[in-house]
């Protein structure tokens, strides 16, 4: 059997029936989410739907994990709100916000390809659980908050354009919307107790749409959000004249999109790698995260070139696909193709879906996204982990616009500081006094945090004739460690003692001598 035949058998032709059926089911579940995430980002539904289509098709071929679903997501959509708002503020009523979003997606893809070649996946293995918990909790709250306007909460008519008011319920419509949302939640959580063959989110959408159409309810629908796809996406670039709703290809545009693109590239890969870990564990297989990073980057570039939004792997849909038997690349491909075909064929019905149905779905996504287990056990978790989780959560929520990437960076930074403090206390200095000689034995790691404990272990006011410092069980990691040891040596010598250092390992000795350390015996 040739290598190509083996590749086809393993990646595409394994149990085609289960993979095709699973792809169809996942496509149904992706439609409402792609539309809802478009609303969060502040763009037309077709942007999220085109993104879901292009991302799924591309990642099916180039991804590093079989059977994983990639689409527009809440974490990436939330990060796009800033550039869309900037574009809308510069030229209200144009597509400038969308052009900024697409340009940011192109740069996001470039970053992710770079991260793949730089093997960023290996570095992300060191992200603490507390950071991941804070990340998903902040993401859950942001997704939930994004539904407030559709629930009639916090609508400021003075700040909204006239064509935007129709997207949200009026005071008379709010009770109806709330009733439908509650009904949708009941269906979503109750229907799986009857059967799990059909996604409960899909059942909720069909039921609420039928109720809305039958009773002719005057409430916001998907068609009020903007344009739905009329066909397959076409190739286009976001660069051009501002008057035409395009962004100039210059450093000014780069300054606008760079922070957003960098954040999306990192947050998207973090969620993707988390999804990979879940699927690897569920299937007892391994996958290539660096290949996946490069595939995600190419997929985001292709999605942006065809008018779609950037995205990443979806945890819920990927798990659903795996549980339904979708374990090959064929299931991912079918999900993308089916999604767009269903949108085109069912466009009138898609446009009639009440926004209340999507709000119900997004609320359930927010709940499933949150680390509820961690929150329940918060009193049992070490205080340091809780502090890291709260730091990640707080920085994300306090930044304007909300920035998940900054939250992760702050959480990792705090975790590093707290860990360093723990490690610092491991170093010990013992003292043995003899006739005209004192021997100091150092055990542990000497670096910038532990140097204070190292220095406290020496009695610099006692000056015997000979002082021996035994470093056999110690290791010097950085310049701070070298300076601390050199400081002790200098103080003892200035007081008239003869100082001898023994036992430095090769790495510590090289560092000590390179930075101008004193003579040692070894």
pLDDT of amino acid 325: 82
- Rounded to two decimals, what is the model's pTM? 0.76
Element (H, E) at 434: strand 428-434
Q: Tokens 């339904």 label which residue?
A: 324
- Kindly state the DSSP code that residue 403 receives in the 8-state scheme: -
Q: Is 293 a residue whose pLDDT tops 90?
A: yes
Instruction: Using the Cα atoms of residue 46, residue 49, residue 53 and residue 54 in order, give the sign of their dihedral.
Output: positive
pLDDT tens track for 389-431: 999 999 989 987 777 788 888 998 999 888 877 777 778 999 9
Residue spans in the chain of domains classed CATH 3.30.750.24:
426-515
Average pLDDT over residues 330-334: 91
Q: Regarding predicted confidence, which is higher, 14 or 83? A: 83
Nearest to 55 by CA among 296, 273, 263: 296
Evaluate whether 337 touches 26 at the Cβ level (below 8 Å).
Answer: no
Give the DSSP H or E segment for 444: strand 437-446
Q: At what angle do helices 74-90 and 16-41 cross, to 10 degrees?
A: 40
Q: What was the pLDDT predicted at 100?
A: 94
Contact 171, 153 (CB under 8 A): no
- Residue that is written with structure tokens 């209200």 in the block: 92
* Euclidean distance between CA atoms 442 and 195, whole angstroms: 65
Task: Identify the pLDDT of residue 156.
Answer: 67
Please list, in sequence order, all residues whose beta carbon lies within 8 angstroms of the beta carbon of residue 184, skipping any fewer than 6 positions away.
204, 207, 208, 356, 357, 359, 360, 361
State which of 47-61, 86-100, 423-437 shows the largest mean pLDDT: 47-61
**pLDDT at 155 > cutoff 90:** no
Average pLDDT over residues 239-263: 90
Instruction: Write down the pLDDT at residue 349.
Output: 85
Edge-to-edge, what's the strand order for the sheet holding 437-446?
428-434, 437-446, 466-476, 498-502
The predicted model gives 463-490 an average pLDDT of: 90
Summarize the confidence of residues 199-211 as an average pLDDT. Answer: 88
* Residue 522: band (very low, low, confident or very high) from pLDDT cuts 50, 70, 90: very low
| pLDDT tier for residue 516 given thresholds of 50, 70 and 90 | low
pLDDT at position 1 is: 54
94-115 pLDDT, tens digit per residue, is 889 999 999 999 999 999 999 9
Whole-angstrom Cα distance, residue 253 to residue 239? 10
Specify whether the CB–CB gap between 67 and 324 falls below 8 A: no
Helices (H) and strands (E) in the chain, counts: 23, 6
pLDDT band of 231, cuts 50, 70, 90: confident
Res. 518: pLDDT tops 50? no
* Rounded CA separation 144/136 (Å): 12
CA distance 348 to 93: 25
pLDDT digit string, tens, across residues 306-330:
999 999 998 878 887 887 788 889 9
Q: What is the per-residue pLDDT for 165?
A: 64
pLDDT, residue 160, reads 57
Percent over 90 (pLDDT), the chain = 32
Q: Distance between CA 69 and CA 276 in Å, rounded?
A: 10
Question: Residue 162: what pLDDT?
Answer: 55
Answer for the pair 124, 270: CB distance below 8 angstroms, yes or no. yes
Mean pLDDT of 486-495: 90
Q: Please tell me the distance from the alpha carbon of residue 351 to that of residue 301, in angstroms, as a whole number.
A: 28
Q: Is the pLDDT of residue 520 over 50?
A: no
Between 89-93, 116-120, 464-468, the lowest mean confidence (pLDDT) is in: 89-93
| Residue 465 burial (10 A CB sphere; 0-12, 13-18, 19+) | exposed
CATH top-level class of 426-515 = alpha beta
Range with top average pLDDT, 161-170, 271-280, 386-395: 386-395
For residue 475, the SS3 value is strand
**Which whole-number Å values give the CA distances from 184 to 142, 174, 479, in the listed order?**
20, 15, 61
Structure letter (DSSP) for residue 381 = S
Q: Work out the mean pLDDT of the chain and round it to a whole number.
A: 86
Residue spans of alpha helices (H) in 118-151: 120-124, 129-145
Say how far apart CA 470 and CA 503 lie, in whole Å. 6
């Amino acid at each position: 059997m040739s290598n190509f035949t083996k590749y086809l058998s393993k990646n595409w032709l394994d149990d085609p029936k289960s993979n095709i059926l699973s792809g169809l089911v996942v496509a149904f579940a992706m439609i409402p989410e792609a539309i809802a995430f478009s609303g969060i980002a502040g763009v037309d539904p077709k942007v999220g739907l085109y993104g879901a289509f292009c991302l799924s098709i591309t990642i099916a071929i180039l991804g590093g994990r079989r059977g994983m679903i990639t689409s527009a997501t809440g974490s990436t959509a939330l990060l796009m709100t800033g550039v869309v708002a900037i574009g809308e503020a510069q030229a209200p009523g144009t597509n400038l916000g969308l052009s900024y979003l697409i340009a940011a997606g192109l740069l996001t893809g470039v970053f992710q390809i770079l991260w793949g070649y730089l093997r960023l996946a290996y570095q992300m293995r060191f992200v603490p659980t507390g950071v991941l918990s804070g990340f998903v909790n902040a993401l859950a709250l942001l997704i939930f908050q994004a539904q407030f306007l559709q629930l009639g909460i916090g609508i400021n008519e003075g700040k909204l354009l006239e064509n935007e008011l129709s997207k949200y319920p009026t005071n008379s419509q709010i009770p109806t919307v709330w009733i439908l949302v509650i009904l949708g939640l009941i269906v979503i959580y109750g229907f799986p107790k009857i059967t799990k063959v059909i996604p409960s989110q899909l059942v909720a959408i069909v039921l609420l749409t039928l109720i809305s159409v039958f009773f002719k309810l005057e409430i916001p629908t998907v068609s009020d959000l903007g344009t739905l796809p009329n066909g397959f996406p076409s190739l286009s670039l976001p660069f051009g004249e501002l008057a035409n709703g395009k962004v100039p290809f210059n450093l000014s545009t780069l300054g606008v999109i760079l922070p957003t693109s960098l954040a999306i590239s990192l947050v998207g890969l973090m969620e993707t790698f988390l999804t990979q870990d879940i699927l690897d564990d569920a299937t007892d297989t391994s996958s290539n995260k660096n290949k996946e990073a490069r595939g995600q980057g190419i997929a985001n570039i292709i999605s942006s070139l065809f008018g779609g939004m950037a995205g990443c792997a979806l945890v819920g849909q990927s798990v659903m696909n795996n549980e339904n038997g979708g374990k090959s690349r064929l299931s991912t491909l079918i999900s993308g193709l089916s999604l767009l075909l269903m949108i085109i064929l069912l466009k009138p019905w898609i446009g009639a879906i009440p926004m209340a149905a999507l709000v119900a779905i997004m609320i359930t996504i927010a709940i499933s996204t949150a680390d509820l287990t961690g929150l329940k056990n918060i009193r049992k978790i070490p205080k340091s982990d809780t502090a890291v989780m709260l730091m990640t959560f707080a920085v994300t929520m306090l930044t304007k616009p909300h920035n998940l990437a900054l939250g992760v960076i702050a959480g990792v930074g705090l975790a590093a500081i707290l860990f360093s403090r723990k490690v610092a206390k491991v170093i010990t200095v013992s003292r043995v006094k003899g006739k005209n000689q004192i021997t100091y034995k150092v055990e542990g790691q000497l670096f910038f945090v532990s140097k204070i404990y190292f220095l406290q272990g020496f009695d610099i006011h006692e000056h015997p004739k000979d002082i021996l410092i035994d470093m056999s069980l110690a290791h010097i990691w950085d310049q701070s460690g070298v300076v601390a040891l050199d400081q002790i040596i200098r103080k003892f010598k200035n007081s008239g003692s003869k100082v001898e250092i023994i036992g430095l390992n090769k790495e510590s000795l090289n560092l000590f001598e390179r930075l101008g350390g004193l003579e040692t015996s070894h």
